[in-house]
């Protein structure tokens, strides 16, 4: 077992975690049990590697609690953060179609995962569309998010930051600000830039009275300006 990993429970925890996940909320009890028999619940500490790019892929994962980072390593360059997975989302679905993971994943916090056997899941999908459809919906969503990422990377840094802040405020259900829940270093990577540039950009937005920024607390002083910047 990987360092920092701990086996939590058997059926009860697993079934509860799966049932709590929106994409599996419509399964029958029988289906849930069949799925649970392929699943192990795993507890991991922060900054633990779940798997690495090119590792053999025989399972995919569902986040029950916590947050993980998906990134790709290139030679001669810092790892590129591709995305995150939060509770209810999956990662490593490439295991369903290839035998190698295509990216690396590590936890950002203490995280509980469901590890779902890929071969078994393929079998389930063949027999019961109820397993294939939610997967499809999930991948459509991910595809859409990646598309947004591509679009975003063609924009200048201030626009990317503005989009991130607006998204974060929506997600945190706060009308006029947001909290930065990741370290600035992480945020910079997520935005495809470096900490120095992030720092300066925050500073410029503050100087322009578009936001105010106190540690990890960002308040929107001029939301329209922020939206204009985001080119939404």
Partner DNA sequence: CGGCTCCTTGAGGTTAATCAATCCTGGTGG
Partner DNA sequence: CCACCAGGATTGATTAACCTCAAGGAGCCG
- Return d(Cα 125, Cα 131) in angstroms, integer: 5
Which of its own copies, DNA, none does residue 203 bind to, with CB < 5 to 8 Å depending on kind?
DNA
> Tokens representing 37?
């028999």
* Nearer to DNA (CB atom), residue 88 or residue 195: 195
Q: Are 96 and 142 in contact (CB under 8 A)?
A: no
Which of its own copies, DNA, none does residue 149 bind to, with CB < 5 to 8 Å depending on kind?
its own copies
User: In whole angstroms, how far apart are CA 73 and each of 57, 103, 159, 210?
Assistant: 17, 8, 25, 35
SS3 153: helix
* Residue span 6-45 as binding mask against its own copies, x where in contact by CB under 8 A, dash where not: ----------------------------------------
Q: Which helix (H) or strand (E) holds 202?
A: helix 195-207
- Return d(Cα 205, Cα 184) in angstroms, integer: 16
* Nearer to DNA (CB atom), residue 65 or residue 152: 152
SS3 207: helix
Q: Find the shortest distance in angstroms from Cβ 9 to its own copies.
A: 30
Q: Which helix (H) or strand (E) holds 157?
A: helix 157-171
Which of DNA, its own copies, none does residue 133 bind to, with CB < 5 to 8 Å depending on kind?
its own copies
* Residue span 170-209 as binding mask against its own copies, x where in contact by CB under 8 A, dash where not: ----------------------x-----------------
User: In whole angstroms, how far apart are CA 96 and each of 24, 92, 99, 111, 152?
Assistant: 17, 8, 8, 23, 28
Contacts to DNA by CB under 7 A: 156-158, 183-185, 192-203
The stretch among 15-23, 41-49, 135-143, 211-219 that binds its own copies (CB under 8 A) is 135-143
Q: Find the shortest distance in angstroms from Cβ 159 to DNA.
A: 8
- Return d(Cα 69, Cα 59) in angstroms, integer: 17
- Is 75 a binder of its own copies (CB under 8 A)? yes
Which of its own copies, DNA, none does residue 108 bind to, with CB < 5 to 8 Å depending on kind?
none
* Nearer to its own copies (CB atom), residue 96 or residue 225: 96
- Beta bridge mates, 175: none
Residues of the shown chain interacting with its own copies in the complex, contacts defined by CB under 8 A: 72, 74-77, 80, 82, 93-94, 96-97, 102-103, 125-129, 132-133, 135-137, 139-144, 146-147, 149-151, 153-155, 192, 231-232
């Amino acid at each position: 077992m990987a360092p920092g990993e701990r086996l939590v429970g058997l059926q009860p925890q697993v079934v509860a975690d799966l049932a709590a996940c929106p994409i599996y909320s419509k399964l029958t009890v029988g289906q849930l049990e069949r799925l649970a028999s392929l699943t192990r619940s795993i507890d991991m500490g922060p900054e633990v590697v779940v798997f690495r790019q090119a590792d053999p892929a025989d399972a995919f994962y569902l986040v029950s609690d916590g947050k993980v980072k998906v990134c790709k390593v290139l030679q001669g360059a810092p790892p590129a953060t591709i995305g995150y997975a939060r509770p209810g989302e999956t990662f490593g679905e490439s295991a369903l179609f290839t035998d190698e993971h295509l990216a690396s994943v590590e936890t950002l916090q203490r995280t509980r995962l469901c590890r779902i056997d890929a071969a078994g899941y393929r079998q389930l999908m063949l027999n019961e569309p109820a397993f294939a459809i939610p997967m499809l919906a999930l991948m459509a969503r991910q595809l859409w998010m990646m598309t947004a990422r591509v679009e975003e990377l063609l924009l200048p840094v201030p626009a990317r930051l503005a989009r991130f802040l607006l998204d974060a405020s929506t997600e945190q259900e706060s009308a006029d600000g947001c909290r930065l829940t990741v370290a600035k270093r992480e945020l910079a990577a997520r935005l495809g830039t470096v900490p120095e540039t992030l720092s300066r950009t925050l500073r410029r937005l503050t100087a322009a009275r578009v936001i105010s920024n106190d540690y990890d607390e960002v308040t929107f002083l001029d939301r329209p300006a922020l939206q204009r910047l985001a080119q939404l």
